[in-house]
Structure 1
Amino acid sequence: MIALGGALTALAFNVIHAEGWVDLEVYREGGAAVLQRTSIYDLSVGKYSLQFTYSPFAAMLFTPLALVDMEVAVALWVLISILALEVVIWIIVGRTAVRHRSRRATHTLLVVIAILPLYPVMTTLWNGQIGIILLLAIVVDLTHGKEKWRGIVTGIAAGIKLTPLIFIPYLLITRRFRAALMVGLGFLGTVILGFLLLPADSRDYWGGTFFDTQRVVTAPETVFFNQSIRGMLLLMPGSWPTMPLWLALCALVGTGGLLVAAWTAKKAGELAGITACAIVGLLVSPVSWPHHWVWCIPLLVLWAYRAQRVDATLEKVGVGFLWFIFLLPGYITLATLLIYPSHAGMWLTLLMGSYVLSGLSTLLVLAVHLGRSDWRQRKRGSGDD
């Protein structure tokens, strides 16, 4: 029932904004190219001339979409995405000590209602993106999967969209070497399957197409929505070489962030750790669109329950502020670019840059909080001695 209500909400949103499902259309055309034995990387879809930017393995997975009408594909995709959202939240709520089934169901419903209008979530539904489905796959794999196979689904997810590869160094730092190996094997399996079934497309993709950001950033105004460190640097005024600074910041944020994520997993649990790790991946990625930031879901829910548990007013205010960050700036930026494009400027950079600043702030706050917690424990232990 919740899934149907969410699907209707997303469909109503699409009626208001008649240009939705653009990414789902690209997925569908990629699947059709596989069936027709044509190059998936020569596609130019829709009035924006969008190109297929995922792996050949992903294109193979999208072939069922090409077998049904676009309207059917939209209905199925939205329903699956909403169900995935509900399951993710059900899992997170269960990890916050809400054990009673009816109470857990009520909490899940309330959280879904609060989360659904957030810009990363709604744009995922509106564009027909795969982000929530991958979020669910990774969360289930790394928190509920059998120890023997843990990591394999995350590796397959990386074979669809490369960003989950960030979990390999995270798992290595946390000394879960088998899980890191399974991620690598799952990913390698998708690459091998791609070369076996689509050799020409695989040579194109792994030969350099996967790193061509020009295929992703197709219009000048879309740069405002690139919510990564690189996206922020590219919008800074002046003419100066951004690549060296970006690489230096990636090394700093990547190394420090992964250490914080591992520390978080040790102190606050696996779900908090992988959420912090995913934020690191979003920050250092060359391109992170708002819909990639669906990892705000576990971030907000985990923090909200912690704020309630410790009854800290400042933390409750922080959760509310973070919720507004993921709600309003995206819609304001979109409205400005659609209605008043001449007003687009540095203020939009700062507005949408709130995602990047929130991610960096989250890692910093976690580091400070965990550091203080360790210091108090050491002080208490030395006092006992």
Structure 2
Amino acid sequence: MSSSVSAGPRIRLGKRDGGSFQMACGVLIALSGALTAFAFNTIYAKGWIDLEVYREGGAAVLGRTSVYDLTVGGNSLKFTYSPFAAMLFTPLALVGMEVSAALWVLICILALEVLIWILVGRTAVRNRSRRATHTLLVVVAILPLYPVTLTLWNGQIGIILLLAVVVDLTHGKGKWRGVITGIVAGIKLTPLIFIPYLLVTRRFRAALMAGLGFLGTVILGFLLLPADSRDYWGGAFFDTQRVIAGQEVNFFNQSIRGVLMLLPDSWPIVPLWLALCAVVGTGGLLVAAWTAKKAGELAGITACAIVGLLVSPVSWPHHWVWCIPLLVLWAQRAQRVDATLEKVGVGFLWFIFLLPGYVALAILFIYPSHVGTWLMLLTGSYVLSGLSTLLALAVYFGRSDWRQRRRGSADG
């Protein structure tokens, strides 16, 4: 009898609350972005510089020329991803830049919407229509953020890789969990941070599968692009000068190393960076594992990603698309506990990822003589936010455990 009762509401929800209108709005947003990208690239041929590098890398593979000798654009940008990534980008070289930009923006916005659908579904929003409405509202709030806008404008791959990691580690089948994360790391090395995270959380099989997935991309690269693979794994992957086009763009390097590079030359920057990376990396992974245990997998991998962004030699603002799950998860918690202070904190964090990047960009291009202290303060905000997040998680869970132990000893 109970099964027949529970079956009825599910049928009615499916008919009445499908969220079709909201989903259509989401598709319309993605199509509008794609059309804008196509028109803007057709008229002005500006923007999507990273996408152009991807296309040229794919074209080099098809033309059997060296991927790591090519330069693109007036800034002489170089291909910095793995040979495996260059192979994946070959389809982009088969179509024009305008079509590539439109398709890329379409895919990125759809990936963003799927990601937020997953994040929203973490709460008790069981009604499909309400979940679709929440997803649409969050998408509208997230799209203007500087890391997201910059990802779309540059034609970066960050949102797609973020979605792949989230799906793999939260929805992947146990037997194969970790493989997609390893493949993602084979495209862009920074997701390698999730392998030690899986080890610290004692998911040894997932860590092994991630390692095998990554190793598979390396082997495939050596089999199909042996010369490029020797160049890349022989040292090109560690050459930060391939990534940093000029000294002035160091102001936008949102990692610990990027902030330290703004210090006077007399400072021991490299030893200081390595020491801080050891502390933040080790402590941060422990906090991420603690967070996964206390607050769930999505929160744990978000904390882990923040650790990776902080210790990476170069973390551009568009790499900080991990602010998306950070903001959504914190907003969900603030709503659940109905804490005014936390709601204000969410708003402040949203403001940090919205405004300072645009202001820094304006200062750099409109008032270049003011580069210095202002940009140092503005561009260090992401690093400060990441460090504050890890510290806040450590303090919160530490106090929670201390209270539980104190209660347990009192009951005993």
TM-score (norm 2): 0.91
Deviation of 1:10 (Å): 7.0
- SS of 2:306's equivalent in the other structure is helix
1:23 matched residue in structure 2: 50
Report the residue type matching 2:158 in the other structure: G
Code of the aligned partner of 1:318 = G
- Helix, strand or coil: the match of 2:173? coil
Per-residue CA deviation, residues 196-254 of structure 1 (Å, 9 max, x unaligned), is: 00000000000000000000000222111100000000012342221000000000000
1:293 corresponding residue in structure 2: 320
The structure 2 residue matched to 1:340, chosen from 359, 367, 390, is 367
Cα offset, 1:342, TM superposition:
1.1
Shift of residue 7, structure 1, vs aligned partner: 4.8
Q: State the match for 2:155 in structure 1.
A: 128
**Quick check: 1:5 aligned with 2:32?**
no
Contact 2:33–2:105 at 8 Å: present in 1 too? Answer: no
Alpha-carbon deviation of 1:15? 4.2
1:25 & 1:384 partners in 2: Cα distance?
64
Contact 1:24–1:127 (8 Å) recurs in 2: yes
**1:244 corresponding residue in structure 2:** 271
For 1:163, the equivalent position in structure 2 comes to 190
What residue number does 1:230 align with?
Answer: 257
| Alpha-carbon contact 1:152-1:183 (below 8 Å) kept | yes
Structure 2 contact 34–102 (Cα < 8 Å) conserved: no
Hey, what does 1:257 align to over in structure 2?
284
Aligned pair partner of 2:293 in 257, 260, 266: 266
Distance in 2 (CA, whole Å) between partners of 1:15 and 1:69 is: 14
Distance 2:40 2:248 in 1: 23
Change (3 A) 1:198 1:238: closer
Matched, 1:77 2:104: yes
Query: Deviation at 1:384?
Result: 2.2
SS at match of 1:217: coil
Unaligned runs of 5+ in 1: none
Q: Which residue of 1 aligns with 2:357?
A: 330
1:1-385 equivalences in 2 (<5 Å): 1=24, 2-9=26-33, 12=36, 15=40, 19-385=46-412
Counterpart amino acid of residue 149 in structure 2: M
Cα deviation 1:36-67 (Å, max 9, x = unaligned): 00000011111111100000000000000001
Report the residue type matching 1:220 in the other structure.
Q
How many angstroms apart in 2 are the aligned matches of 1:110 and 1:246? 40
Q: CA 1:257–1:88 in structure 2 vs 1: closer, same or farther (change >3 Å)?
A: same
Which one-letter code corresponds to 2:182 in the other structure?
A: G
Q: Is the 8 A contact 1:4 1:79 kept in 2?
A: no
Q: Note the aligned Cα RMSD (angstroms).
A: 1.4
Would you say the 8 A contact 1:96–1:302 is kept in 2?
A: no
Q: Distance in 2 between matches of 1:81 and 1:310?
A: 32
Distance 1:99 1:195 in 2: 47
Cα–Cα, structure 1 residues 11 and 247, in superposed 2: closer, same or farther, change >3 Å? farther
Amino acid aligned to 2:208: L
Partners of 1:3 and 1:234 lie apart in 2 by 42
- CA–CA separation in structure 1 for the residues paired with 2:324 and 2:116: 8
Q: Post-superposition shift, 1:338?
A: 1.2
Q: Percent identity?
A: 82
AA partner of residue 4 (structure 1): L
Q: 2:29 is matched by which residue type in structure 1?
A: G
Between the two proteins, the alignment pairs up a number of residues equal to 385
Query: Deviation at 1:6?
Result: 4.0
* Residue type of the alignment partner of 2:165: I
Deviation, 1:96, is: 2.0
Q: Does structure 2 retain, via aligned residues, the 8 Å contact 1:30–1:62?
A: yes
Structure 1 residue ranges (4+ consecutive) displaced by more than 6 angstroms after TM superposition: none
Q: Distance in 2 between matches of 1:7 and 1:237?
A: 47
Larger mean Cα displacement after TM superposition, 53-62 or 218-227:
218-227
Q: Distance in 2 between matches of 1:99 and 1:125?
A: 31
Aligned 8 A contact 1:27 1:52 in 2: yes
Question: Cα distance, 1:380 vs. partner?
Answer: 2.0
User: In terms of Rg, which structure is larger?
Assistant: 2
Counterparts of 1:42 and 1:374, CA distance in 2: 54
SS in 1 for 2:358: helix
Offset at 1:97? 2.1
